[in-house]
Copies of this chain bind each other. A is one copy, B any other.
């Protein structure tokens, strides 16, 4: 099949003017165009169903209109919501949202960022969570510097070690808040199910728990730390290991809701009553969190809004309005039924 593109020249011919004039009409240029010819051009454009070739425009203005988003897993509703927020905001404004799933794989992550470099992305959002890995850090550092010198706008959503603007998701604060809440309800024997070891987000959430404990003169106990991986399955497994020490525990803080949901499910499955025998707490407020048995008490991180705020920020940056800041997004305690007051 031969690709027969309709160009500005075709329009010009039909409107009996020069390509320059057509371009001026398309771009609502300052440059004066007589009402008469403008109309003829408009008519020709309609007639030919012409839309300007954005690739060519891009080459000319040194813009790709591509905004890259690097994400761990688009199926994780946490990321999906953020992407949706960004996408709904950004694609209204004639930008292309280019998503990469990296499954926290070093090679995939580097591949993504190199593709975005080759495609001269106008902006890149690092939302996948920094990996704690030597090669990753070294190579990523290099590409990031190259992107910077290409003039690419960079933004990290979870904290990154690279020297780029980072928007924090209040990970630590959220973990602190939910732990505070447990303590305020009389819990002292608190277990924690962590996220994946190599994720900075995991680290921050753990720190939040520790900080809350310390603020209340309690100690974080290594033997009550269980490893999870931010998934439902991980939560289920953690529940099993937790069972041995259940008499040492009155509440469990899970590093995220998916984990908490798995935890609750498996505890139910094993005949352990939540929250009568043990309280379970999450972080994120996944849509399904309110439909567990019992509904999960958690911290809401309004991640969809974060997405739209990021979109707004990027667009401002792309329009060189440098004084804009990302609207922050506040964690909020959602008390449902998975915690029992034991004072």
Pick the contact of A74: B49, B80, B232 (CB < 8 A). B80
Interface string of A73-102 (1 = CB under 8 A from B): 111010011011001100110101111110
Verify if A35 is at the interface (C-beta below 8 Å from B).
Answer: no
Interface centre among A75, A101, A265 (most CB of B within 10 A): A75
Q: Are B288 and A119 in contact (CB under 8 A)?
A: no
Interface string of A222-255 (1 = CB under 8 A from B): 0000000000100000000000000000000000
Number of copies: 2
Verify if A58 is at the interface (C-beta below 8 Å from B).
Answer: yes
Verify if A327 is at the interface (C-beta below 8 Å from B).
Answer: no
Interface string of A94-136 (1 = CB under 8 A from B): 1011111100000000011011011110000000000000000
Interface centre among A73, A77, A81, A96 (most CB of B within 10 A): A96
Chain B residues contacting A114 (CB-CB under 8 Å) are 51
Pick the contact of A59: B3, B52, B55, B146 (CB < 8 A). B55
Interface size on A, residues (CB 8 A): 58
Pick the contact of A96: B53, B77, B94, B119 (CB < 8 A). B119
Chain B residues contacting A74 (CB-CB under 8 Å) are 74, 80, 83-84, 87
Q: Which residues of A contact B (CB under 8 A)?
A: 1-5, 49, 51-56, 58-59, 62, 64-66, 73-75, 77, 80-81, 83-84, 87-88, 91-92, 94, 96-101, 111-112, 114-115, 117-120, 142, 146, 149-151, 232, 261, 265, 268, 287-288, 291, 293
Pick 25 A–B contacts, CB within 8 A, sort by A: A4-B149, A4-B150, A4-B151, A5-B150, A49-B142, A49-B146, A53-B118, A53-B120, A54-B118, A55-B55, A55-B59, A55-B120, A74-B74, A74-B80, A74-B87, A87-B99, A94-B115, A96-B96, A96-B119, A232-B287, A232-B288, A232-B291, A265-B291, A288-B288, A293-B293
